[in-house]
Every structure is written in C-alpha cells, then in structure tokens.
Amino acid sequence: MMFDGKVAIVTGASRGIGRAIAVDFAQHGAEIALVGRDREALDATETACRAVRDTVKCLILKGDAADPAAVESFVTQTLDAFGRVDFAIANAGQSRDGLIVRLKKETLDELLAVNLKSAFYLCHTVAKPMMKQHSGSIVLVSSIVGLTGNAGQAVYAASKAGLLGLTKSLAKELGSRNIRVNAVAPGLIETSMTEKMPAAAREYLLKQTALGRAGKPEDVSGVVRFLCSDAAGYMTGQTLVVDGGVVM
C-alpha cells in the first residue's frame, strides 16, 4: 500500500484524524495538499509529515472547505503544483450538540455546510481531473452516528448520514471512469472534538465499545489508506465502520 508518485488532497488537515491521514499518506510516499482554516496548525501538520519522510512535498492551502470558490482554488493549486490528484479525503467537519427544540437555524446551516456541503464541493471539483486521468479514489469521513443516530445530535447525525448517501451515489456515477468512492464511519476517536464531550456521555459510549477503549486518529488513517490503495481496488460505495465494536 505504497503511494509513490501519487497526490492526495486532505480537508480538515489541521489536526486530529485529518492530520493523521496526511502523515500516514506522506509516510507511504504520497505528496500532500493540506486544507484547513488554521495556518499555524497546518504548518504543524506539514512538520509532522516531514518527520516521517523528509522528502515529502506539502502544499498548504489555508481557507474554508465549505466555500465552493475556495475549493475550486484548492484543487487548481494542487494540479498546478503536482500535475494530478489521485486521492481526495473529505474530512472537514465539526460537531455542535443540542436538542432539536433548542436548535438555531444558524447551527443547522453551519453544520450542514462544514460536514456535508464541503464534501460535495470537493467531490464535484476533483471529479473532472480524476475523470481525465481515468483513475482516482475519494474517501468521505462520516461517523457512526450517521448510521445509528443519537439524541442531541440530530443535525450532526443528519449531515454525516448525508455523506453515506453521497458516497453510494457517486460510486455509481463515477465507477465507469475507474474512480472509487468510499466512506469511513469512526466511533469515539481521541481528538480535540471529542475532548469536549461530557464525561457521562463519554463513559456511556466506552461501555458500548467492545474493545473497551477510545480509538486514535491513526486507527482511522490506516483504514483510509487501505481504501485508497490497490488492495481495495474492487471496493466502491462502501462504508467501513471504525468504532472498536459499537455498531455490529
């Protein structure tokens, strides 16, 4: 599962799962376009990539993955820098919990933009160069709550469930051009997002986890790398659950 000569664009690459994916791909030979809103954090991701392979070429793309014009610019800059895009990882996302009766319209709009629309914009933009190459792999980072739902996370769950429908539709739409589209659905992963979980909610979820522990971002990045590799060359339209045994 080496990616020598391949190019990956990763949204939400500033930290957590996105950073782990970037580092994993860099370690296995890919050049990386890093997308995020925090320049200092993106610099830290680049440093982490260089720590595992000092010859890696990183392109830092600071901006909003939920802005369609910005995404077009990201992909154009990636093509200008590297000449191709082989892997597109839609990882940008955020969570904001709350009961639906207290939901503000602004929260709905923001989460749908960051979690769902950003992935659509990335897929829309990378599809054309991938079709010209007649090859490519797209991975959307969803969540187990997109499969199960969760009280207090109606908007987050809906946005993550939308990614699963997008995955299946694009897999059928792009398969004839040798472009594969898959998703991962992580469970409780140790990131800055999950650090904000209430202790009781965290403990409850851990009790539902067969392995009895939270996952690490690297537990997800390895699965994403597999989905992009030739080892998964006959897989498309699938969702791989990475949750330590919650959803069975």
Catalytic residues: 156
- Say what angle helices 16-27 and 217-228 make with each other, to 10 degrees: 50
Please give the structure tokens belonging to residue 106.
């602004």
Q: DSSP letter for 116, please.
A: I
Q: Any residues with CB less than 8 A from the CB of 225 and at least 6 apart, and which?
A: 1, 3, 21, 24, 25, 28
- Burial of 226 from C-beta contacts in 10 A (0-12 / 13-18 / 19+): middle
> Which residue, chain included where needed, has tokens 């051009």?
177
Q: Any residues with CB less than 8 A from the CB of 135 and at least 6 apart, and which?
A: 86, 178, 179
3-state helix, strand, coil split of the chain in percent (to 5) is: 50, 15, 35
